[in-house]
Chain A
Amino acid sequence: MRTELSIKKLRSDFVKKVEELSGQSLLSCNQCGKCSAGCPMCFAMDLLPNQVIRLAQLGLEEDIAKANTVWVCASCLTCSVRCPRGVDLGRVMEAIRLVTMRKNVDYLDAVKISTATLSSLPQIALVSGFRKHTA
């Protein structure tokens, strides 16, 4: 796979938005991989959490958008409490989700949830699912 790096991407609005929304400095990450080592959802992820941070550092928004990682993140904050560089990765994941959802793009299509599923899910699941996966 050929990846094009450029100053333009490095200084793109995407990087700025993610840093502003998350309150985190992406360049603090030195790619040790501890976040991915402890991530309970990484079995289902296209890209590991540390790979998403690397792509974000480089401003490669489209590559992140192609992966399911930020949507599969369960905000368990294991990475956030273990990061030796103090990066709150849970906030970075949230920021990337919001960059997409604020373009009015939902990950979860509420209409497609069956009536049976809707009636079985407790409120706590529905409210948190909609909060994390819909604009």
Chain B
Amino acid sequence: MELHYYPGCTLKTRAKGLEDSAVAAMAALDIQLKEIERWNCCGTVYSLAEDDLAHHLAPVRNLIRAKEQGADRLGTLCSFCYHTLKRANILVRNDSAKRKTLNDFMEEEADYNGEVEVVHLLNVLKDEVGWEAVTQKVRVPLHGLKVAPYYGCTLLRPQEVAIDQVERPTILKELVEAIGGEAVDFPFATECCGSYQVVSNPNFAAQRAWEIISSAMRKGADALVLSCPLCHFNLSERQSELVQRYSDFTGMPIFYFTQLMALAFQLDSAVCHFGLERADPLPLLKSRNLVS
């Protein structure tokens, strides 16, 4: 099966490990991710103001590109891109007045009416591939690896874009168990990492990272698993500093869900780009015999 796919900016730089491992893992499941052409930044955050239509142009343009290239669905990996594209699409579908204004503004493009469906790859895995098919591809079950699923905000809120139950999601837990790992439930799984506060108030984001990771540590987790490049950055970037500041803080590796799939499917570990990680996962993976 071929799935049109929107990577987003950060997957081409800091989050290469998310993109490359996803492409390889999905290919192992016979899903070819086909990157759409001429995509632009989605704008990262969905505009929350009633009169601010200009910021909906970026995500809607991407949806138009997908439609022009024959896509009826657009797969996403980055939680922010998923959120922004999905909400812009819902706006276009439900608000005829704003849809008209947006279409009138974009002179070069054909009118867009929300024809493309925005999907997150976790939903594709659960609803179309199925966990049994995922398990069948596993060559190295992640036995003994205790992973705490971390969802963050943009995959779950608001309700209209939630990939799972808003307050009690289980989709990442199901994935971790499908590839042989042990999922660790912890109370901060759906709490915000501080998000864009890392730019203006980096210490607030570091405080969030400390709280979230400490909670996962108390529950016995070896690592966190997530899908958002901003959560990944916020939770891993300042760990070495937090280790120095708090004597009982050891930190933990932060994995993209697709990196764990690539490991379990025994794909070339180069697709995981572990060299880009600030919280080095290799000692943990070596101790569990998951990499040589």
Q: Is the CB of A41 within 8 A of B194?
A: yes
Among A3-11, A51-59, A88-96, which stretch is in contact with chain B?
A88-96
Among B26-34, B43-51, B115-123, B265-273, which stretch is in contact with chain A?
B43-51
- Does A124 have its Cβ within 8 Å of any Cβ on chain B? yes
Q: Is the CB of A125 within 8 A of B201?
A: no
* Chain A residue at minimum C-beta to C-beta distance from B9: A123
The complex places the Cα of A117 from the Cα of B201 at a distance, in Å, of 12
Counting chain A residues whose Cβ lies within 8 A of the other chain, the interface size class is: 35 or more
Q: A44-B201, A74-B194, A131-B55 are in contact. Are A81 and B45 (CB under 8 A)?
A: no
- Find the residue from A95, A123, A129, A132 having the highest chain B CB count within 10 A: A123
Using a Cβ–Cβ cut-off of 8 Å, how many residues does chain B contribute to the interface with A? Answer: 43
* Chain A residue at minimum C-beta to C-beta distance from B197: A74
Q: Is the CB of A81 within 8 A of B166?
A: yes
Residue of B43, B192, B200, B229 touching A40 (CB-CB under 8 A): B192
Q: Is the CB of B49 within 8 A of A22?
A: yes
**Majority secondary structure, A binding face:** helix
The complex places the Cα of A35 from the Cα of B199 at a distance, in Å, of 24
Chain B residues, CB < 8 A from A127: 9, 41, 43-45
Binary contact readout A95-111 vs B (1 if CB under 8 angstroms, 0 otherwise) = 10010000000011000
Q: Is the CB of A131 within 8 A of B208?
A: no
**Majority secondary structure, B binding face:** loop
- Does B237 have its Cβ within 8 Å of any Cβ on chain A? yes
- Does A63 have its Cβ within 8 Å of any Cβ on chain B? no
- Does A1 have its Cβ within 8 Å of any Cβ on chain B? no
- Does B78 have its Cβ within 8 Å of any Cβ on chain A? yes
Chain A proximity of B229: nearest CB distance (Å): 5
The complex places the Cα of A125 from the Cα of B208 at a distance, in Å, of 15
Q: Is the CB of A44 within 8 A of B196?
A: no
Q: Is the CB of A76 within 8 A of B198?
A: no
Among B10-18, B104-112, B124-132, B138-146, which stretch is in contact with chain A?
B10-18
Chain B residues, CB < 8 A from A76: 153, 157, 191-192, 195
Beyond the given pairs A88-B48, A124-B80, 18 more chain A to chain B contacts, judged by CB atoms under 8 angstroms and listed by A's residue number, are A40-B192, A40-B208, A71-B200, A72-B197, A76-B153, A78-B191, A81-B159, A88-B158, A95-B48, A113-B199, A120-B237, A121-B198, A125-B196, A126-B199, A128-B80, A129-B197, A132-B45, A132-B196
Closest 10 CB pairs of A and B: A129-B199, A76-B192, A128-B196, A94-B48, A77-B157, A74-B195, A76-B153, A123-B9, A122-B14, A128-B44
